[in-house]
């Protein structure tokens, strides 16, 4: 069952939905979430397999998915889960090539972070391959700081970034 917790945008019954963007926080099953994310992932990430996503879903806590829709089609998403009581891991996300340069990734991040603050998280962390300069720059523009560096199992350089959502009192 597909449930929407929140929907943001300026849509009315008169809208023809052409080029209309709207955003929603998804609150259905993880299987339904995967069905929405997988086609996007396959188009965005070279070598992405369904198993990479599905095999991890049973082991995550407090999954949160934000979606961007255009003309009734999902064109972007931001997905993550709780790592510690006050730490959220923003795991997967991206925007379809047909919808890039419209500010969608930035808006998804803004909505995700506002939602995390409301949910009581103090920090958000993410990791990005070092060659993904657009993502690294977007994270920096949204207040992330570089927190670490590693080489993953595929021998690819990865940058860890962390953002304080709520400073300590």
Burial group, residue 18, by CB count within 10 angstroms (0-12, 13-18, 19+): exposed
Buried b (16+ CB within 10 A) or exposed e, 111-121: bbbebbeeeeb
Q: Is the pLDDT of residue 5 over 70?
A: no
Q: Is the pLDDT of residue 11 over 70?
A: no
Listed range (13-22, 32-41, 79-88) with the worst mean pLDDT: 13-22
d(CA 129, CA 121): 25
Residue 94, pLDDT score: 94
The model's pTM: 0.86
Residue 7, pLDDT score: 46
* CA-closest candidate to residue 92, choices 80, 76, 81: 80
Domains of the chain: 4-164 (3.40.630.30)
Q: Give mean pLDDT, residues 71-87.
A: 96
List the end-to-end C-alpha distance of the chain, in Å, as a whole number.
40
Residue 167, pLDDT score: 85
């Amino acid at each position: 069952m597909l449930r929407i917790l929140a929907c943001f945008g300026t849509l009315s019954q008169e809208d023809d939905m052409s080029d209309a963007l709207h955003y929603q926080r998804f609150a259905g099953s993880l299987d339904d979430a995967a069905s929405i994310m997988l086609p996007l992932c396959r188009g965005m990430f070279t070598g992405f397999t369904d198993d990479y996503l599905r095999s991890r879903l049973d082991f995550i806590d407090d999954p949160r998915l934000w979606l961007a829709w255009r003309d009734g089609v999902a064109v972007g998403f931001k997905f993550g889960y709780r790592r510690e009581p006050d730490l959220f891991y923003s795991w997967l996300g991206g925007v379809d090539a047909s919808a890039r340069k419209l500010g969608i990734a930035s808006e998804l991040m803004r909505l995700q972070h506002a939602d995390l603050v409301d949910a009581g998280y103090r920090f958000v962390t993410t990791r990005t391959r070092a060659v993904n300069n657009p993502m690294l720059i977007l994270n920096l523009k949204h207040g992330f700081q570089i927190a670490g560096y590693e080489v993953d199992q595929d021998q690819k350089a990865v940058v860890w970034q962390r953002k304080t959502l709520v400073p300590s009192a």
